[in-house]
Homo-oligomer: A and B are copies of this chain.
Amino acid sequence: MAVLSEHQRGILKTVTTATVTTLLLKQGIRRTWMRGPKPLLAGQDRMVGEAFTLRFVPMREDLATPQSWSGPRSTRAAIEEMVEGTIVVVDASGNPDAGILGDILLERIRQRGIAALVTDGVVRDSAGVMQVGLPVWCAGTAAPPAIAALTFAGWQEPIGCGGVAVFPGDVIVADGDGAVVIPPALVDHVCTAGPEQEQLEAWLLDEVRRGAGLPGLYPPNDETRARYEASKKKSGN
């Protein structure tokens, strides 16, 4: 889990998921944004961390039982193995009919130092979950327990989440636009190019606010690039 240095984590906290996806697309990665996970609460801070994965498969009545909660293959067992500072990413096949976790388990996850929960499924006991205070990106809420519709399958395996492949240790960034995965080999690139891209887009937005037209401006042609570089020098950035 040495993918992400504290320095990189700090940088990524300043880069929007919109910018991450643009940078990754230019590197040939189009499928990085997860369909499904949305901030449970408006205004949640951007979260950054390596992925700790959980995986469910569909319910089967002989497997998804209250007895399974105490077994070695259970969310309980997985939680006690979780690594501090990671983001828990849960593959629920996008199932909307059962809450993968409720307030008690989420409180334990918070106690274990997890940064956030990201899932293409839903959580339950939403009033309780909001009190826990762990930042959650999910596809909604439902009353039933996970075993009503899902069988727990394991942890720290490759998963799909919201149509995207997530492997343990991949880097996750989540904000108001949802959650994205950065392949480890591209973390350096995003950390280098991300802040620069944010700065350029802020300048471009200012130009548009002043009434500039788009041709030549966005994407910037050489003349615009030169003006941008000059403005950077001027402001000392």
Contact = CB atoms under 8 A, between A and B. Distances in A.
Given A30-B61, A124-B177, A143-B180, A107 B22 contact: no
A99 interface: yes
Interface residues of A, number: 90
A148 B33 contact: yes
A84 interface: no
Interface stretch (A3-11, A12-20, A226-234): A12-20
Interface in A193-229: 201, 204-205, 208-209, 211, 213-215, 218-219, 221
A181 B151 CA distance: 15
Interface string A59-79: 111111010011000001101
Interface of A: 16-18, 20-22, 25-26, 28-33, 35, 38, 57-64, 66, 69-70, 76-77, 79-80, 91, 93, 96-97, 99, 102-105, 107-108, 111, 124-128, 140-145, 147-149, 151, 153-154, 157-160, 163-167, 175-178, 180-181, 183, 185-186, 201, 204-205, 208-209, 211, 213-215, 218-219, 221
Contacts of A151: 158, 165
Given A30-B61, A64-B165, A142-B178, 4 more contacts: A28-B28, A79-B214, A108-B213, A143-B178
Contacts of A76: 214-215, 218
Contact of A158 (B57, B111, B142): B57
